[in-house]
């Protein structure tokens, strides 16, 4: 991850507070007092019970979120769903039933669609307006999470990156980060999913995209992939005040060959993937965006530098060459190695959480309290 440098995008924020999970609920929201969750955004009236205000505010947020998702659906979508959901597995009610200018009619779409937003808008709230969040360190927290939405938009590359927390001991995210995952998706599929879920958001959205390998697998050219990336970025930026950043992609052994490798895949896409990563960096840097140097880069994950003795004339010299590190990949055969291992993906996901904490001006110190950067 690139080193975070201080800028005045949000200005220096007052010290943000870590919620005290030992006090009776409702707990203080994570990152309260930061750019993500300014104190004034609570809109509390000190003359009225805080608990009641927090509950009503949280339930209002949930109602708004559910409304904007349903507002994309065409009348009669229930009948449409009943007709098509049994045709094939994985009927997607989110992407199939939305209509807008680019998609004026409903159409059946079948794919796996994992979304923390869909989970939240259907979650049952307790008497304090809180729900059980499966990804956060503070498992039970308010339905209201701040004045912006941090979102990870990914294909299978980072789907379920937290893994089994009871086994890997990951305590959960310090702040709430929404995730929309479509295993097997191309960039255009993620644009559709974003439009269906957040296209009518009344709050700005900060999106990080980790996808594009499926575009390469499908045989698309560099120009076609970059076009889809630009459409996705334009879709995100159509929500006023939003940002969209692309992470560089890892180099899977099934489609790339490095200098230190002992084998070459049948369909070598190394040059295409390297050029795509360069294009994604340029997309981030358009208009000198301040987040461009902060977004994590994943093109070196799953690689290892190896030193070999090479003869050059009468002399010998040590040369460092990159190669794939097989243990870092989930699959066992090089011809099928596409996904990084769970431990590597956990590091990748953790770097994204810290990216969001960085742009909002908050980072945890060693005592697990919040401070501004």
The string of pLDDT tens digits covering residues 277-298 is 999 999 999 988 889 889 999 9
Q: Indicate whether 175 pLDDT > 60.
A: yes
Cα separations in angstroms, 205 against 32, 141, 178, 361:
18, 20, 10, 16
Burial of 172 (0-12, 13-18, 19+ CB in 10 A): middle
Q: Indicate whether 314 pLDDT > 60.
A: no
State pLDDT tens for residues 298-308.
999 999 876 55
> Residue 335: is the preceding peptide bond cis (ω within 30°)?
no
Q: What is the pTM of this model?
A: 0.85
State pLDDT tens for residues 186-202.
999 999 999 999 998 88
Cα separations in angstroms, 358 against 31, 154, 290:
12, 20, 12
300 neighbors 274 (Cβ within 8 angstroms): no
Helix (H) / strand (E) element for 115: namely strand 114-115
C-alpha–C-alpha distance, residues 166 and 161, integer Å: 14
β-partners of residue 324 are 303
Nearest to 203 by CA among 243, 232, 234, 239: 239
C-alpha–C-alpha distance, residues 285 and 291, integer Å: 8
Report the pLDDT value the prediction gives residue 25, as an integer from 0 to 100.
Answer: 53
C-alpha–C-alpha distance, residues 218 and 220, integer Å: 6
Q: Which residue has the higher pLDDT, 48 or 274?
A: 274
DSSP state of 73: B
The band of 311, judged by pLDDT with boundaries at 50, 70 and 90, is low
Report the pLDDT value the prediction gives residue 98, as an integer from 0 to 100.
Answer: 87
β-partners of residue 246 are 209
Nearest to 69 by CA among 45, 49, 47, 98: 98
Q: Indicate whether 251 pLDDT > 90.
A: yes
3-state class (DSSP) for residue 56: helix
């Amino acid at each position: 991850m690139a080193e975070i440098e201080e800028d005045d995008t949000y200005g220096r924020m007052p010290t943000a507070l870590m919620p005290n999970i030992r006090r009776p609920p409702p707990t203080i929201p994570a990152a309260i007092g930061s750019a993500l969750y300014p104190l004034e955004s609570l809109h509390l009236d000190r003359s009225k019970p805080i608990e009641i205000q927090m509950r009503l505010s949280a339930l209002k947020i949930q109602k708004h979120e559910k409304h904007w998702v349903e507002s994309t659906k065409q009348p009669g979508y229930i009948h449409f769903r009943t007709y098509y959901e049994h045709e094939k597995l994985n009927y997607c009610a989110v992407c199939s039933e939305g209509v807008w200018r680019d998609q004026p009619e409903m159409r059946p779409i079948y794919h796996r669609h994992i979304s923390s937003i869909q989970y939240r808008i259907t979650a049952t709230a307790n008497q304090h307006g809180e729900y059980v969040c499966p990804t956060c360190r503070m498992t039970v927290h308010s339905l209201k999470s701040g004045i912006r939405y941090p979102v990870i938009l990914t294909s299978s590359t980072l789907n379920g990156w937290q893994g089994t927390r009871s086994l890997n001991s990951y305590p959960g995210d310090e702040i709430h980060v929404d995730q929309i995952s479509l295993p097997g998706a191309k960039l255009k599929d993620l644009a559709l999913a974003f439009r269906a879920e957040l296209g009518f958001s009344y709050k700005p959205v900060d999106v990080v995209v980790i996808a594009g390998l499926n575009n390469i697998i499908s045989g698309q050219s560099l120009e076609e992939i970059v076009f889809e990336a630009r459409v996705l970025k334009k879709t995100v930026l159509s929500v006023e005040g939003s940002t969209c950043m692309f992470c560089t992609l890892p180099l899977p052994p099934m489609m790339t060959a490095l200098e230190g490798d002992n084998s070459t895949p049948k369909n070598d896409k190394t040059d295409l993937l390297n050029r795509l990563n360069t294009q994604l960096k340029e997309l981030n840097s358009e208009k000198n965006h301040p987040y461009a140097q902060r977004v994590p880069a994943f093109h070196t994950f799953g690689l290892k530098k190896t030193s070999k003795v090479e003869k050059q004339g009468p002399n010998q010299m040590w040369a460092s060459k990159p190669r794939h590190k097989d243990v870092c990949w989930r699959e066992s055969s090089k011809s099928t190695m596409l996904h990084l291992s769970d431990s590597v993906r956990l590091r990748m996901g953790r770097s994204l959480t810290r990216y969001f904490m960085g742009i909002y001006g908050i980072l945890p110190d060693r005592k697990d309290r919040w401070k501004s950067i």
